[in-house]
């Protein structure tokens, strides 16, 4: 097989940058959408917001209520449980729910319907649109940092949102910055589609080209569309703009279910998924990923670094940062002798980067270099004191969301910044 044949066996269509994998427009996969489509004779498709493995999300104008909405169109073979979970979490419950401000940080489902198309039956649901994910805001920045007051407020809201999800008996299962979005401002609905295009850019249509020169099947769109960018560089986000939505409940599950497989990205996946693969995940598995996400919010780079990393590489990062694994994990880790001595000293490589080193070179130095305020010694100590028990190797030793909310950093620094946003409503 030639390199060209191999390429064609992997790709049926010319890939388009920023666009979902076009091969997934097949029976069971994505539903083809065109700009201007009228869904339910009500939602006019204006632009694309994004895509995931199991859905594409579109910006539409709700012509009944004269506002913008996000319409998520699931693949025909996707599990409908996400809609059920979000509905369960956001529908009115008992008055005690009013004690959880985190409920306001979840996307309320405004409407649900289904579309029958060439690739099957697709569940669709409508929510308020969001500007961009926190990871997209960092990707749109050279600095890759949030202002210090914004970072505190984002972290506080994320803990409040997870606290509410856990209180309702669910584990999110996929916490990372790509699933934390910024809400659109109230003025957003007042833009006409023309003004929206003028401000953020009109959609660019790239023709979908079959590598064999064949005509496109009926289930494949004629054009690919890259998502609209409603964000701005992370350092430019102001405190009043720093209002989050915790999204993507496709991996979420009830604490009554026995689920042991994690699809969280490797850099924020809890270690028990590797060393105790048959043990059901629990609230504490979210806590590890939550700690990784909080670090990402305050730092320029992840705590555990590993672009395209292996499991062994990530375990090495964990030990470098946090110390020796529990004895039964340590003894079972086959690659341990290549990386560490029995007592945890690195072998055949430079001294490891400790927890403190990582704070200096990922948080403080990058802030200093661009003239941003630094975390002082007292706040740094409070951040460490909050995060360290969240990173306990044994899941049962990790903090709960309630304990995190009572930590010194949350009480003295993070929650007060969120209060300023709330009082501005």
CATH of the domain at 47: 3.30.200.20
Provide the pLDDT confidence category of residue 94 given band limits of 50, 70 and 90. low
Residues 215 and 267 both lie in one domain: no
C-alpha 267/C-alpha 246 separation (Å) is 19
72 is annotated as contributing to ligand binding: yes
- For the chain, the domain total comes to 2
Average pLDDT over residues 393-407: 97
Residues 189 and 68 both lie in one domain: yes
Distances (CA, A) of 413 to 27, 204, 235, 405: 51, 43, 19, 11
| Averaged pLDDT of the chain | 91
C-alpha torsion 201→207→211→215, nearest 10 = 150
Confirm whether 338 is domain-assigned.
Answer: yes
More confident residue, 339 or 298: 298
In this prediction, residue 96 carries a pLDDT of 53
Residues 260 and 368 both lie in one domain: yes
Residues 248 and 309 both lie in one domain: yes
Confirm whether 345 is domain-assigned.
Answer: yes
Residues 262 and 217 both lie in one domain: no
Among 301-305, 332-336, 420-424, which stretch is predicted with the lowest mean pLDDT? 420-424
Q: 47-51, 211-215, 353-357: which has the highest mean pLDDT?
A: 47-51
In this prediction, residue 425 carries a pLDDT of 57
* Domain housing 311: 130-183+232-424
Average pLDDT over residues 231-241: 96
At 235, give phi and psi (nearest 5°): -70, -15
C-alpha 216/C-alpha 213 separation (Å) is 9
Q: What digits encode the pLDDT tens for the residues 283-312?
A: 999 999 999 999 999 999 999 987 768 999
pTM for this predicted structure:
0.90
Contact 391, 288 (CB under 8 A): yes
Contact 380, 388 (CB under 8 A): no
In this prediction, residue 4 carries a pLDDT of 47
Residues 297 and 189 both lie in one domain: no
Contact 129, 68 (CB under 8 A): yes
Confirm whether 15 is domain-assigned.
Answer: yes
Provide the pLDDT confidence category of residue 418 given band limits of 50, 70 and 90. very high
Confirm whether 101 is domain-assigned.
Answer: no
Provide the pLDDT confidence category of residue 59 given band limits of 50, 70 and 90. very high
């Amino acid at each position: 097989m030639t390199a060209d044949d191999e390429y064609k066996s992997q790709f049926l269509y010319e890939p388009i940058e920023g666009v979902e994998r076009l091969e997934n427009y097949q029976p069971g996969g994505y539903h083809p959408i065109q700009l201007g489509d009228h869904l339910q004779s009500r939602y006019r498709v204006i632009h694309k917001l994004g895509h995931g493995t199991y859905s594409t999300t579109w910006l539409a104008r709700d012509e009944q209520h004269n506002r913008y909405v996000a319409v998520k169109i699931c693949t025909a073979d996707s599990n409908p449980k996400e809609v059920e979970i979000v509905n369960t979490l956001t529908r009115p419950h008992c008055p005690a729910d009013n004690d959880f401000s985190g409920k306001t940080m979840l996307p309320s489902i405004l409407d649900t319907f289904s579309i029958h198309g060439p690739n099957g039956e697709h569940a669709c649901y409508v929510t308020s649109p969001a500007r961009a994910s926190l990871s997209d805001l960092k990707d749109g920045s050279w600095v890759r940092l949030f202002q210090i007051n914004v970072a505190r407020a984002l972290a506080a809201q994320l803990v409040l949102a997870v606290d509410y999800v856990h209180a309702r008996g669910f584990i999110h299962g996929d916490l990372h910055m790509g699933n934390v979005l910024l809400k659109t401002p109230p003025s957003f609905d007042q833009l006409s589609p023309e003004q929206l295009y003028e401000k953020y850019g009109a959609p660019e249509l790239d023709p979908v080209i079959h590598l064999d020169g064949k005509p496109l099947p009926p289930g494949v769109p004629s054009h690919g569309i890259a998502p609209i960018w409603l964000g701005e560089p992370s350092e430019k986000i102001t405190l009043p703009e720093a209002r989050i939505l915790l999204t993507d409940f496709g991996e979420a599950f009830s604490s009554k279910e026995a689920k042991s497989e994690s699809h969280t990205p490797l850099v924020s996946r809890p270690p028990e998924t590797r060393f105790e693969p048959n043990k059901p995940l629990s609230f504490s598995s979210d806590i590890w990923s939550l700690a990784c996400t909080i670090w990402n919010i305050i730092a320029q780079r992840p705590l555990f670094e590993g672009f395209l990393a292996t499991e062994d590489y990530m375990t090495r990062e964990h030990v470098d940062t946090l110390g020796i694994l529990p004895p039964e994990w340590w003894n079972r880790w086959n690659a341990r002798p290549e990386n560490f001595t029995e007592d945890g000293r690195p072998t055949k490589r430079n001294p490891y980067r400790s927890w403190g080193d990582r704070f200096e070179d990922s948080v403080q130095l990058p802030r200093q270099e661009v003239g941003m305020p630094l975390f002082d010694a007292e706040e740094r100590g409070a951040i460490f004191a909050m995060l360290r028990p969240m990173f306990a190797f044994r899941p049962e030793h990790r903090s709960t969301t309630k304990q995190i909310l009572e930590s010194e950093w949350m009480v003295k620094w993070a929650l007060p910044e969120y209060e300023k946003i709330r009082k501005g409503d």
